Amino acid sequence: SASVAIFLSGGGSNMRALVEDMQGDHPARPCVVLSNVADAGGIAWARERGIATEVVDHRPFGDDRAAFEAALSAALAPHAPDLICLAGFMRKLTGGFTDTWAGRMINIHPSLLPKYRGLHTHARALENGDARHGCSVHEVTAALDDGPILGQASLAVHPDDTPESLAARVLVQEHRLYPAVLRRFVAGDRTPLLLTA
């Protein structure tokens, strides 16, 4: 079966959704959970589950992204992943890393791409008065939050939504979308999966 490395920086609810789906006859297994933040909640959860973990703090590398990425690669090597899933990993990756993993690395982003690359996606959707919002899973390329879209889940924005209420509803959809897309991706299916809440 395919070995999947999952990268995160925070609570890791998407990582948990992926790990919980990768059981039984699933064609993939988590081989390592990697964080750039030592006390990320997702690291503690993975450790308790007996999943290998790695922490690569970005701070000692300063602006030297190539050196940070070399450290990521060194931490990954013993786990021999076939694929990488970014799940709330809040560091930009350069072409040096994304080219190495081209076609083998995917990300979840909390907007209906190509809208709202980058940060504060929920506030931006509200500011623009969007009727619908959601999340996307895409292949990772050197351009931030770009790359072929593998799936999207959309939902209706409510008149009384705040960035927080919207984020919470989108997150529920992220947990539906990401495992479903990973299953298809492992099976070689790159046709976009479109879900509606």
Residues near ligand GAR (CB under 6 A): 8, 10-14, 87-88, 108-110, 135, 171, 174
CB nearest ligand GAR: which residue? 88
Of the residues 26, 58, 109, 175, only one is catalytic, namely 109
Say what the alpha-carbon torsion angle 157, 161, 166, 172 is, to the nearest 10 degrees: -80
* Dist. CA 21–CA 18, nearest whole Å: 5
* Dist. CA 60–CA 63, nearest whole Å: 9
Q: Is 12 annotated as a binding residue?
A: yes
Q: Which is nearer to ligand GAR, 45 or 81 (CB)?
A: 45
User: Is residue 50 packed enough to be buried (19+ CB in 10 Å), middle (13-18) or exposed (0-12)?
Assistant: exposed
* Nearest partner of 173 among 147, 146, 153, 193, judged by Cα: 153
Q: Is 14 annotated as a binding residue?
A: yes
Strands of 56-117 (E only): list them: 83-86, 105-109
The amino acid sitting at 183 is R
Q: Residue 147 CB, nearest distance to ligand GAR (Å)?
A: 13
Q: Is 79 a catalytic residue?
A: no
Q: Residue 135 CB, nearest distance to ligand GAR (Å)?
A: 6
Q: Which is nearer to ligand GAR, 54 or 174 (CB)?
A: 174
Contact in structure between 7 and 55 (CB atoms under 8 Å):
no
Q: Residue 11 CB, nearest distance to ligand GAR (Å)?
A: 4
Query: Which of helix, strand or coil describes residue 114?
Result: coil
Q: Is 36 annotated as a binding residue?
A: no
Q: Which is nearer to ligand GAR, 13 or 154 (CB)?
A: 13
The amino acid sitting at 129 is G
Q: Which is nearer to ligand GAR, 80 or 119 (CB)?
A: 119
Q: Residue 183 CB, nearest distance to ligand GAR (Å)?
A: 18
How far does CA 173 lie from the centroid of its chain? 13
For the annotated catalytic residues, the residue numbers are 109
